[in-house]
Amino acid sequence: MALTAMLLTLLSSGMYSVVRDWDNDTDVLDTQLNETVAILQVERALQGAFPHSYLDTESLGRFIYFPGEDESLAWVSSVSPQRRGGLTAWWLENDAEQGVLLRLAPAMSDNPTARLENTEPVVLLENYAATFSYLYEEVDGSRRWRDDWPGDQLGVLPLAVHILFSPVDADAARGRPLEVVARIRANEHRTIRPAFAVQSDTGVGGFSSSRQVGPRSGGPL
């Protein structure tokens, strides 16, 4: 009986260890899947960024809505996580206690900042902090990154957005930094030129001939 009790104890302890390891692996997998889905949603929303313009009632000027800073970013996208029609305003920001927060609001014809501020945020990535940088093109054609993008002053969207999600607590966040590099699709065709006709010498019969010039591209984006 003593030997049987000892064997049962060993078997039960071994089974408990297997179940515990299984639960731990399942929790890690669930966490990684949630992080992957969140990153894919943000990347897709940035790729669908829309040059949303609004009228400022004080200056009576129209401005592009894309207030990008090194630790926060708001933009209007044609992509909605609820698959709703129309445009959606997104806002990512850091919270020292919770992590990276996300706010969503419908984008109308005005500045959506007030609606975003009145929206209850959700935790996108717990125990993470986001750092943003923005790609632009110099006059000489070279491309560089900057840590802010005041869309109302620049009047255009950046070529791409890079987001680095760094774990605040290495144990809680599994110590795995995450990255998003999203190219803004609204800039894909910005170098295409329309076709036009160029007048040349007079042709046969007194009719002027023309040379058709097709679309040109200034090089790869």
pLDDT at 148 over 60: yes
- 105 and 122 Cβ atoms separated by less than 8 Å: no
Local confidence band at 209 (pLDDT 50, 70, 90 cut-offs): very low
What are all long-range contacts of 183-186, with beta carbons under 8 Å and residues at least 24 apart? 183/47, 183/159, 183/221, 184/46, 184/47, 184/49, 184/157, 184/158, 184/159, 184/160, 185/47, 185/48, 185/49, 186/49, 186/50, 186/51, 186/157
pTM above 0.85, yes or no: no
Which amino acid, 119? T
**Amino acid 191: pLDDT:** 60
What the block records as the tokens of 177 is 């930094």
Please state the separation of Cα 205 from the chain's center in Å.
60
Question: Which structure tokens are listed for 217?
Answer: 């591209």
Q: So where are the chain's domains?
A: 24-187
Report the alpha-carbon distance of residue 32 to residue 13 in Å, rounded. 29
Give tens-digit pLDDT for 47-62: 999 999 999 888 888 9
DSSP secondary structure of 117-161: HTSPPEEEEETEEEEEEEEEE-TTS-EEEES-EEHHHH-S--SEE
Length of the chain: 221
Cα 86 to Cα 173, 202, 217, distances in angstroms: 35, 52, 31
The pLDDT-based confidence of 98 (bands split at 50, 70, 90) is very high
pLDDT tens digits, 24-50: 434 444 445 577 788 999 999 999 999
Per-residue pLDDT at 14 exceeds 50 = yes
- Map residue 98 onto helix, strand or coil: coil
- As a whole number, mean pLDDT of residues 126-151 equals 94
